[in-house]
Amino acid sequence: MMWSLSTFLLVCSCLQVALSDLTCNPIEGNLKQIDAGNGQVFGVSANGSVYTRHVGTWVLVPGNLAHVTVGPAGVWGVDSAHIVYRKRGGSWVVMDGLLKQIDAGGNGIVGGVNMNDDIFCVHQDEARSAISISSPNYNHIDGKLKYYSCGMYSCWGVSANDDIFFRSKVTSSQCAGTEWLKVDGKLSMIETGTDGSVYGVNSNGNVYRRDGITSQNPTGTTWTHINIGGILFKHVTVDLEEMWLVTTLNNIIHCQ
């Protein structure tokens, strides 16, 4: 059963108390996945409709996707058949490759995983120049992940059993990095911001922030549970010190 906005407002009346440094409010709409980057916000609904946030409202974007991403590498997405698209000039252009999840995150690179949990990335120059089905060129990364996201200091991912991994020495020209470092904790999805911040959601619907991340210590130190009114979530993304979350009921919360 979906909540009405009035019911959701009542349930979320305690949000401001839950976060001392952020004010959180429910906003209109229903999404199953959301991504923020470069000052833009895109999301996908349960039926695959694509939306972007503009002047405080959701604007329908032509197309049908299963996952969408926006960041320094542009706006990319994948559909239910795992076909990869890039938004160019107001239209979706089919790209090479098949992915189930994609990320246009830090340093202008593109990363993602396919239906077999194989991991791939695209160097910054290849991502920027990709304009047709004959591009881009993908680099295979060893290992298996179900979700992969890149930010300022490198890339993070989670495996099928929710283990968390950090990929070391990822750069714009060497997107594959060098090795995996296992990080404590369990998450079902993870997102990294262009500012280096890392947030994730676990299988119980709890949101966590990775603290202690610096250029000298890019893996950080500890996970902090962010309690937003006791509500359960399935997706989180952060950009320009604003947090966007999707609840397990596909409702949307915005924190700033």
Q: Would you say residue 234 lies in a domain?
A: yes
Determine, yes or no, domain membership for 3. Answer: no
Rounded CA separation 210/192 (Å): 10
Judge whether 77 lies within some domain.
yes
The candidate with the shortest Cα–Cα distance to 159, out of 182, 179, 177, is 182
Q: Is residue 8 part of a domain?
A: no
Give the count of domains, the chain: 1
Judge whether 237 lies within some domain.
Answer: yes
Domain that holds residue 97: 23-255
- pTM for the whole structure: 0.92
Q: Could you tell me if 24 and 255 are in contact, meaning their C-beta atoms sit under 8 angstroms apart?
A: yes
Domain assignment present for residue 190? The answer is yes
Q: How confident is the model at residue 43 (pLDDT cuts 50, 70, 90)?
A: very high
- Preceding peptide of 136 cis, ω within 30°: yes
* Residue in this structure with the two tokens 């594959």, named with its chain if needed: 176
**H-state helical runs in 58-176:** 124-129
- Distances 166 to 93, 149, 255 between C-alpha atoms, Å: 31, 10, 26
Strand partners for 158: 147, 164
Q: What pLDDT is attached to residue 22?
A: 81
CB neighbours (10 Å) of residue 124? 19
Q: What is the CA radius of gyration of the chain?
A: 17
Strand partners, 68: 77
pLDDT score for 9: 44
pLDDT at position 143 is: 98
Residues 6+ apart with CB under 8 A from 216: none
What pLDDT, on a 0 to 100 scale, did the predictor assign at position 118?
98
Is the model's pLDDT at 112 over the cut of 50?
yes
Instruction: Classify residue 156: in a domain, yes or no.
Output: yes
Q: Tell me, what CATH number does 148's domain have? A: 2.130.10.30
Residue 10 counted as domain residue: no
